[in-house]
Amino acid sequence: MKIQNIWDLNKLEEKGIRSLAPKRPKISIGLSTCGVSLGADNIFEKMNREKEKHALKISIGQTGCSGFCDLEPMAIVRMPGKPPLLYTQMTVKKIKQMIQDIKRKKITQEGLLCKIGDPALPRRPDPLLNEIPDYQEASPFKDQYRLLLGNCGVIDPLSVSEYVAMGGYSALYKAFYQMSPGEVVEEVIRSGLRGRGGAWFPTGIKWDMARKTTSEEKFVICNADEGDPGAYKDRTIMEGNPFKLFEGIVLAGYAIGSHLGLIYLREEYPHTYQFLNKAIDIAKRYGLLGRNVLGSNFNFTLKVIRGGGSYVCGEETALMDSLEGEVGDPRLRPPFPIEKGLWEQPTIVNNVETLANIPLIIEHGGEWYAGIGTEKAKGTKIFSVIGQVQQPGLYEVPLGTNLEDVIFKMAGGSLNGGQIKAVQVGSPFGSFLPREKLDISLDPETLRDMGSMIGSGVIVVLDQETCLVDILLHTLSFFVEESCGKCAPCREGVFQMKEIMTAIYEGRATMKDLTDLIDLGEMIKDFALCALGGGAPLIILNGIKDFRKDFEAHITTGKCSWSS
Amino acid sequence: MITLEIDGKRVEAEKGSTILNAAQQVGIQIPYFCYHKEMEPYGGCRLCMVEVTENGFTRLQPSCAYPVKNDIIVKTSTERLIKGRKILAELLLARCPNIDSVINLADSLGVKKTRFLQTDSDCVLCGLCVRVCRNVAKVGAIDFVGRGRNRRPATPFDMPSDDCIGCGSCAYVCPTGAMKMEYENVLRWRKLPGPLRKCRYMRMGFISHKVCANDFQCWNCEVDQRMEDLSTSHPVFMLREARAKERERFGGFEMLSDRLYDEGHIWVKRINGTVRIGIDDFTRQIVGVINDIKLPSVNSFIRQGDPLCIISGNEKTLHMYAPLEGKIVDINPDIIDNPSLISMAPHRRGWILMVEPSDIVQASKELLSGRSATEWMTHESRKFYDFVRENTEMELSPERPIPPDFARTLEPDVWNKIDQTFFMVRRKRRVKLHSIGQAYPTPKKDSKSS
Amino acid sequence: MEREKIKKIVAKHRHEKAAILAILHEIQEEDKQLGTESLNYIAQLLMMPVANVYGLASFYSAFSLRRKGNTEIRVCTGISCHIKGSDKIMGTMKSRLNIEIGETTWDEKFSLEKVQCLGLCAIGPNASFNSKIHAHLDEDRILEILKERMEDSE
């Protein structure tokens, strides 16, 4: 069925509501990469078999990941007349018990996390339900502002109708039938949205420049080469709500006048690759991609291209080289991609998270969006809090939220109740902040002023037990392995830094080596060709400043007191 | 001319040149390793970094690549730059401690020894050899292998390359002497029978035919000496001018040198026994954004002059006719989904279908290529602009692209005239031949009639 | 790999040079390696220099010029897994399979690699066995999985 007009869209919305508030009980299992690796595929299969064997009057569906992988496999139970209930850490046994309970119209208590309240859905008052916390009040969702992740793990990611029922595609409809491409760009400029991939360049300005180029051929590239170790926000969006991303990409295409979008997906996400291709096929069937999108005269093709396993290819110019079938070496600029990008044509490269923000901006207006966040950084940002922390996961908060609040209030502080030693914001480039520097606002400007960067929003928490020299050496090894080898400062310099760090770690170094490290670091920061090379020495330079004790301990005693 | 300031001097430079060029003009020396004045900048060695102040912001930029702009302030030897270059020299020295050019460069920057872990390599990875082979000679016999520290220029599988033409440009540009001509290829050529012993200038494409009579001892060869005298550097750089014209405009319409053209405004490209077919820039500009296409099905057989596709855009439709006979083996799936792609890039991603021709040799003979193609397009362009002047009130010129809504503004009868004059070439012929009793003309006879 | 199969894969990608990564991916998946013969033939079909194809195959970590094992074990060494002890997992695998990172066992059943991050940082340490990812690993658990795999392959 192709969606041609507003009535088709309304019909689809009704269908989505029926599927979100079904007449017969429905259990949805989280089937994204994390769920599957914790056995959700097994549960899903067993349930289907059970259903067939006993001819159960239960439908079985799937959802994506909500960003808290350790709570997977999750299940959402939708019983008629009751709000959806979210269960965590399911097993086959628990699910069997749940099916028994559903038959008896009882609410299973084991593993129940919260209810996903929606006042629009019809329901009878139920005293039992009052005791179950609401989605917004239950940890770990508490205090978050889940604009992008709200539907992830709640709706069926491959169901267009459920996405439409959650307000999807109204932005695209509005853009096609009520706005000119220039107005779309203006709205994005007004919103103050900035690129979420790490460079924080104003998206609207990039689009405006691309729109004003006269070339017939323009490209929209969605950068899904989520290479930063510790980041998985893009995967969660792609697997939890792919149509939102598609809507954002089509909007970008409409705004700049491009008919071809490419998603460059990292090689390490094979599951996501299959999943996105499936989603694109579905979107084509509904007429949301391809010829005459949403019944307009706008055509748009979207493709997923797999990378080859190289971190540099996340850098936009190297990414374009890779898309052209070349070795992923960063290019010199100027010329910038908006002048001469892919195949020498104007190209915009945007991160998954950036593009997923676009439908919200178009739907609710740039001014609404600009009301969230700080003066210079608007909107929400997904932070991936990992390491030695109670509740690791994705936390979506407005920019400018206090870092301590995120770590202690939301993520529950350090894992074993120990002292926090250091926190790295913007891994792998951002520097490690000591405990006393954590009372800061999370926005690009604050971190830049501290000599660090916010990057793509990975927050690594380390407790007192960890040896910082070891962590820094590990990160440097990552940079050395992933250097493309084009420019000398990164290829030779970071390698030599790693050699010195190894000597320090093994206790072979002298204090003079520290000055060598600083000299090298300062040079690489200035001289390297791309952001990977130029960013690599930051952690060392700031590490020496803030954690000199660790370095000195290693140099003088050959180890630090806390590492065994 | 552009005026900028370098180290306090006001310098005039040509538009499009780089800071390095401008600095060299006034005698300011900037060190470099990976730059070559006859190649595109690479920006890999980072020795030529300079401080550029533009709109109040000061940044470090590679002078070999950064274009000159009005009123920028360039500093080539600040303390930060000198210190950084010294460390870079130390790093290069650590990589290649026994290479004279590296030692000299380090020496000129005041670096005698290195603090860092030394390895013994003879290559600084400036990439000149790879770039000259690939971008200038257009051979690609060597390329980078591996990444990061393990990167090195190499022939495929480290075996003598079959692609190598023995021009020697890689060894010529190498600043460290790491790249040496492989004599295995030369030895192999020496074993070939007389007529196959092609001179290196024949392999490079300078001369159409010359058999080596000198047992590949180029240093004793008169022809070789004469050719080298002609060129101020390696002769391979003379090729650049001739080869720069991969895509060029003729009468305002883009043409690609690797395509064959049909008079019905269709291009054909040979790919391993099959051909790829698409519409040319002329059609694209006239029709504007294409929003629908009708095609024959895969595996169907078409004859020359049969309808190949019907494209529509700007409320006008246009029939295109098959330039050759054969079986349709593939259709570009992207354009079925999204016909706009054809108008986006008619020569590349917007190709239409692939055909397995019945007689590929004959078919390519009938199509226009090289000089005949460009002359034909220039003629068509003149014809078209004359036509527009006579039949419409629009003012068009080959200097500017045709406006995107050109087709929409035309009256149907004018559009039909365009269709007949420019696109029905193939069909007309068939109709004519058909009328004298030949149902399906063979391609051969068709070509004679032209 | 047979030429016919390569030809089919290249034709599926419509002889586009830009699709070279996808073509190499498919051949790697099927053949577990990118052999000299295959690379030469791909270059011929796509009308590009062999050196270029060889350069690509050696640049990207997803491709291997040597044959990989039937089960490719990739241990995640991302920062989160590193903190949680991925070194130990890697060490266990190395000593149990008696190979180093990047190598394949003599019977071509297993090969061991490291991967920078699998994107499952909350449930580390992780390792993937072909496409199946195992989370929450420790030394005992991964030996158990390996044992199952070994029994399966026999």
Chain A residues touching C63 at Cβ < 8 A: 308
Chain C residues whose CB is inside 8 A of the B328 CB are none
Query: Residue B371 — pLDDT band, cuts 50, 70, 90?
Result: confident
pLDDT at B207: 76
Tokens of A70: 């350790």
Average pLDDT over residues A188-207: 93
- Residues A222 and A234: their CA atoms lie apart, in Å, by 11
Inside any domain, residue B33: yes
Cis omega before residue A73 (within 30°)? Answer: yes
State the pairing for strand pair A219-224/A260-265: parallel
Distance in angstroms (rounded) separating the CA atoms of residues A501 and A514: 9
Strands (E), C1-154: 71-76, 110-115, 127-129, 132-134
Kindly state whether residues B421 and B361 are assigned to the same domain. yes
Q: Are B148 and B204 in a shared domain?
A: yes
> Does C123 contact A481 at a Cβ distance shorter than 8 Å?
no
Is residue B322 in some structural domain? yes
Mutate which: A31, A32, A34, vs C, most C CBs within 10 A: A34
Looking at the domain assignment, is residue B122 inside a domain? no
Q: What is the mean pLDDT of residues A288-309?
A: 91
Mean pLDDT of B309-334: 88
Residue scoring higher pLDDT (B372 or B184)? B372
Residue B90 domain flag: no
* Residue among A339, A280, A354, A348 nearest A319 (CA): A348
ipTM of predicted complex:
0.94
Region A371-391 average pLDDT: 92
- Residue B14: other Cβ atoms inside 10 A: 11
CA distances from residue A11 to A3, A5, A16, A161, A526 in whole angstroms, order as listed: 10, 10, 9, 9, 57
| Token pair in block for residue A69 | 């992988």
Taking CA atoms, what residue in B is nearest to C40? B156
What sign has the CA pseudo-torsion A29, A30, A36, A39? Answer: negative
Q: Which residues pair with B302 in a beta bridge?
A: B326
Residue B222 lies in a domain: yes
Dump pLDDT digits (tens) for A78-89.
Answer: 888 788 889 999
pLDDT digits (tens, 9 = 90+) for A127-149: 666 677 888 888 888 888 888 88
CA distance A323 to B361: 34
- A300 contacts in B (CB within 8 Å)? 338
Residues B289 and B367 in one domain: yes
CB A360 within 8 Å of CB A369: yes
> Which among C82, C123, C131 has CB closest to A34?
C123
Among A392-396, B265-269, C12-16, the least confident range? C12-16
Q: How many separate domains does chain B show? A: 3
* Low-confidence stretches of chain C (pLDDT beneath 50): none
- Of these ranges, A245-254, A522-531, B315-324, B425-434, the one predicted with the greatest mean pLDDT is A245-254
Residue in B450, B443, B445, B449 with CA at minimum distance from that of residue B306: B443
Query: Would you state the pLDDT for residue B441?
Result: 36
Q: What is the pLDDT of residue B245?
A: 63
| B15-62 pLDDT per residue, tens | 889 999 999 989 999 999 899 888 889 999 999 999 999 988 999 999
List all residues of chain A from 300 to 359 with a beta carbon under 8 Å from chain C. 305-311, 322-328
Average pLDDT of chain B to the nearest whole number: 84
**What contacts B229, CB < 8 A, 6 or more positions away?**
none
Distance CA A404, CA A397 (A): 13
Whether residues C82 and A474 touch (CB distance < 8 A) is answered with yes
Domain that holds residue B212: 128-240
The pLDDT of residue B344: 85
Cα separation, A262 vs C60, whole angstroms: 20
On whether both B259 and B367 belong to a single domain, the answer is yes
Same-domain check for residues B190 and B228 = yes
State the smallest CA–CA distance between residue C11 and chain B in angstroms.
Answer: 9
pLDDT of residue A20: 86
Is the Cβ–Cβ distance between C132 and C74 less than 8 Å? no
Q: Which residues of B touch C52 (CB under 8 A)?
A: 134, 140, 143
Please tell me whether residues B363 and B422 are part of one structural domain.
yes
Average pLDDT over residues B155-159: 88
Residues B321 and B253 reside in one and the same domain: yes
Instruction: Please state, in angstroms and rounded to a whole number, the distance separating the CA atoms of residues A545 and B136.
Output: 48
Which member of C62, C63, C133 has the closest CB to residue A37? C133
pLDDT value for B372: 86
Determine the Cα–Cα distance for residues A70 and A89; give it in Å rounded to an integer.
8
Predicted confidence at residue B313, as pLDDT, reads 87
Q: Which residue of B has its CA nearest to C18?
A: B349
Clarify whether residues B316 and B273 are in a common domain: yes
Q: Tell me how far apart the alpha carbons of residues B204 and B201 are, in angstroms, rounded to a whole number.
A: 5
CB B228 within 8 A of CB B235: yes
> Which chains would you list as touching C if contact means 3+ CB atom pairs under 8 Å?
A, B
Residue B296 has pLDDT above 60, yes or no: yes
Asked if A308 and C132 come within 8 Å (Cβ–Cβ), the reply is no
Q: Which residues pair with A425 in a beta bridge?
A: A459
pLDDT-derived band at B442, boundaries 50, 70, 90: very low
Residues of C in contact with B330 (CB under 8 A): 11, 14
Q: For A484, how many CA atoms within 13 A lie in the half-sphere containing its CB? A: 31
Map residue A208 onto helix, strand or coil: helix
Contacts of B331 in chain C (CB under 8 A): none
Count Cα atoms within 13 angstroms, Cβ side, for A509: 27
Q: Is residue B235 located within the same domain as residue B254?
A: no
* Average pLDDT for chain A: 89
Q: Is the pLDDT of residue B203 over 60?
A: yes
Q: pLDDT tens digits, residue range B408-439?
A: 888 888 888 888 888 887 665 444 333 333 33
How many other C-beta atoms are found inside a 10 Å radius of the C-beta of residue A270?
18
Q: Are A272 and A229 in contact (CB under 8 A)?
A: no
Cβ of C117 within 8 Å of Cβ of A392? The answer is no
Amino acid A79: pLDDT: 85
Condensed to tens digits (0 to 9), the pLDDT of residues A502-551 reads 999 988 888 899 999 999 999 999 999 998 889 999 999 999 998 888 88
Distance (Å, rounded) from C-alpha C118 to C-alpha A510? 37
Residue C38's pLDDT is what? 92
Residues in chain A closer than 8 A to B344 (CB atoms): 216-218, 259-260
Residue of C nearest to A67 (CA): C122
Do the beta carbons of residue A474 and residue A481 sit within 8 Å?
Answer: no
Using DSSP's 3-state secondary structure scheme, residue B294 falls into strand
pLDDT of residue A128: 61
Amino acid at B284: R
Taking residue B300's Cβ as centre, other Cβ atoms within 10 Å add up to 10
Residue B212 lies in a domain: yes
Q: Are B342 and B293 within 8 A, CB to CB?
A: yes
CATH value at residue B266:
2.40.50.100
Question: Within this chain, do residues B219 and B253 fall inside the same structural domain, yes or no?
Answer: no
C111-150: b or e for each residue (b if 16 or more CB lie within 10 Å)? bbbbbbbbbbbbbbbbbbbeeebbbebeeebbeebbeebe
pLDDT value at position B449? Answer: 40
Interface contact flag, C51 B141, Cβ < 8 Å: yes
Instruction: Compute the nearest-CA separation of A518 from chain B (Å).
Output: 11
The answer, for C135 touching chain A at a CB cutoff of 8 Å, is yes
The full DSSP string for B141-177 is --EEESSGGG-EEE-GGGS--SS-----HHHHH-SSS
In a domain, B235, yes or no: yes
Cα Rg for chain B, rounded, in angstroms? 28
Segment A296-324 shows an average pLDDT of 92
- In terms of Cα–Cα distance, which of A483, A485, A311, A237 is closest to C116? A311
How many whole angstroms separate alpha carbon C35 and alpha carbon C41? 10
* pLDDT value, residue B182: 64
- Give the mean pLDDT of A482-510: 92
pLDDT at A236 over 80: yes
Give the pLDDT confidence score for residue B5 in this predicted structure: 92
Distance of CA A98 to the CA centre of its chain: 32
Residue of A474, A475, A479 to mutate, testing the C interface (most C Cβ within 10 Å of its Cβ): A474
What domains are there in chain C, each with its CATH number? 3-59 (1.10.10), 71-152 (3.40.30.10)
Which candidate, B305, B331, B302, places its Cα nearest to that of B319?
B305
The per-residue DSSP string of A503-561 comes to HHHTT---HHHHHHHHHHHHHHHHH-SSHHHHHTTHHHHHHHHH-HHHHHHHHHHSS-T
Question: Min CA distance, A289 vs chain B (Å)?
Answer: 8
The token pair that represents B330 in the structure block: 């593939």
A265-284 residues touching C, CB cutoff 8 A: 267-271
Q: What pLDDT is attached to residue A123?
A: 46
Residue B390 lies in a domain: yes
Cα–Cα distance measured from residue A45 to residue A140, given in angstroms and rounded to the nearest whole number: 29
**Maximum CA pair distance of chain A?**
75
Domains of chain A: 19-137 (3.40.30.10), 168-370 (3.40.50.11540), 380-463 (3.10.20.600), 468-557 (1.20.1440.230)
Same domain (yes/no): B374, B279: yes
pLDDT at residue B224, as a whole number? 79
Residues B408, B345 share a domain? yes
pLDDT for res A558: 77
